[in-house]
Amino acid sequence: MDARQTVLLVDDDVDFVEANRIALEATGYQVLIAHDGEEGLALARANPVTLAVIDVMMRRPDEGFDLARRLRADARTRAIPLLMLTSVNREHRQQGLLPFSDRDRDDAYLPVDRFIDKPLPPRRLVQLVQETLA
């Protein structure tokens, strides 16, 4: 693998992954893609990942949370910055529930660096990746 910074995208939405892969690669990042937590964990363990972008809901409603906890528990991957994407906030707001936010992060259950609402344009994701890595 070359010296470019590597972003791991973990999301089961193929269109979302492809649009963001194109935007990140155009900005100079190398991109690894996983469509579920197990695949994401394996890629993170096997590659020098600079940052991971993880969806909350994939095969299971909390699969992204589980992946974040597993990445933080592994000495090989615990230092990787994690951006958590969620469309759950939109549903929570519609139901009158409080959305997830950066205030909800903690080392035990939600060990991520940022919460980000989906949908978001690819250029915004690139901006957030750049800000996190700066």
Q: List the CATH number of the domain containing 43.
A: 3.40.50.2300
Count of domains forming the chain: 1
Looking at the domain assignment, is residue 46 inside a domain? yes
Between 86 and 94, the higher pLDDT residue: 86
Bridge partners (DSSP) of residue 34 are 10
pLDDT at residue 108, as a whole number: 59
1 part of a folded domain: no
Cβ atoms of 8 and 53 within 8 Å: the answer is yes
Ramachandran bin of 79, using left for φ above 0, alpha for ψ from -120 to 50, beta for the remaining angles? alpha
Q: Is the pLDDT of residue 103 over 60?
A: no
8 Å CB contact between 68 and 110: yes
- Could you tell me the pTM of the whole model? 0.85
Beta bridge partners of 55: 85
In a domain, 12, yes or no: yes
Write down the pLDDT at residue 92: 46
pLDDT reading at 97 higher than 50: no
Once rounded to an integer, what is the mean pLDDT over residues 110-114?
85
Domain-located, residue 43? yes
Question: Where in the sequence is the domain holding 17, given as residue range(s)?
Answer: 6-133
Place of tokens 């299971």: 60
Q: Place 91 in a pLDDT band, splitting at 50, 70 and 90.
A: low
Q: With 50 as the cut, is the pLDDT of residue 1 above it? A: no
- Residue 119 is predicted with a pLDDT of 86
What local confidence, expressed as pLDDT, does residue 45 receive? Answer: 97
- Which range, of 47-51, 85-89, 126-130, averages the lowest pLDDT? 85-89
